[in-house]
Amino acid sequence: MPNHEVTLNYNSAQTPHFKPDVDPVLVNKGDTISFHHGTAPPNTKFKITMDELLFSKKEIEILPNSPAIQILVRHELEGRTTYRCQLIDLATNAVRDETEEHAGGGVEPHKKPGTGG
């Protein structure tokens, strides 16, 4: 059961603003993905929303300087799926930015050698 490490970063001067260090994450059923809080404005957290039919959690929140949050891939993926990201102010809980038209990052099925998929 491989564990995939993903650090989510935010930079308002870049497009897209949300940038995971691994995109896409290539997974199989039973793999885990650990999300880490990377570069972001002070006093903010990330909220990630995923397809709850495919992953063990629908939403996770990643705080600065906190342990990674791990999710489990519950089913084989048929194709690419994406997750949504929000940057949230820790003091007010207000959404400061979010992915709307563009995904925060992607997860794709890992193609096993010799299986055609």
Residue-wise pLDDT tens digits, 62-89: 999 999 999 999 999 999 999 999 999 9
CATH class of 3-107: mainly beta
pTM more than 0.85: yes
CA atoms within 13 A on the CB side of 36: 11
User: Residue 52, Cβ neighbours under 10 Å: how many?
Assistant: 11
Distance separating alpha carbons of residues 50 and 57, to the nearest angstrom: 7
CB 18 within 8 A of CB 40: no
What sign does the CA torsion over 53, 79, 38, 16 have?
Answer: negative
